[in-house]
Amino acid sequence: MTVRHDPSTFRRRLATGEKLVGTFIKTPTGHAVEIFGALAYDFVVLDEEHAPFDRGAIDQAVVAARAAGIAALVRVASATPSNLMSVLDCGATGVLVPHVASVESARAVAAACRYRGGNRGFSNSPRAGDYGGLGMWEHVDRCDAITTVVAQIEDPQALDQVDAIARVEGIDALFIGRGDLAVAMGAKGSDAPEVRDAAARIAAAGKAAGKPVMVFTGGAADATAMRKLGASAFVVSSDQGLMRQAAAKALADLGSID
């Protein structure tokens, strides 16, 4: 029996270290989001950074997430205050922010996503404010309670500051960006020793600060290893990756028929 959780509980569930499973959404429509919601995945990540999402496509994908009862994070293409505000105003559960490589950038991101103690631009007229249905402070309190801010650590220079980044108030979790780390380090792959060491360092920083750790994984074996390292939230492939995998298997299966 599948259990579907209210998306508003995602931040709390993440903070408690509950095992959570999600996927990247690369196709800018709501259909894949609905499918993953129906399957009771815990979350999706709309990939504005590496897929053709604009604000209109993000808006519609968030509508689908709400209808399907699944938490929707957005991996933003830009960490400017206006872009962070726009996806949160659309009603996204939170943001995954790439290339957080310094304490200063972590503080700026956290501030842009919070009302109290931050500087998020106020409006309760978009979807996040129930189109004006929520009063000013009801909207402020609700958004600050559920908005999830994840810092993606994927630059070698971030490793020297990762302990301090993890302690920044308003940063809810760390995401280990093994692909970018591997490329930046000139490593053979995401499982190279130097990348594994970097991942362990990031996970240790999260543990020391009481912050959960998220990671992209290709499958169960890798997820098991990262779970032992301390990760609790796993992004498994993407809608396009899983479609390609299933399509390849179907073609191979039918190709074996005489």
Q: Which residues participate in catalysis according to the annotation?
A: 50
Closest alpha carbon to 85 in 68, 101, 108, 66? 108
Q: Is 248 left (phi over 0), alpha (psi -120 to 50) or beta?
A: alpha
* DSSP annotation of 130: G
* Angle at alpha carbon of residue 188, lines to 184 and 189, rounded to 5°: 80
Ramachandran angles phi, psi of 155, nearest 5°: -120, 135
- Asked if 233 and 173 touch (Cβ cutoff 8 Å), the reply is yes
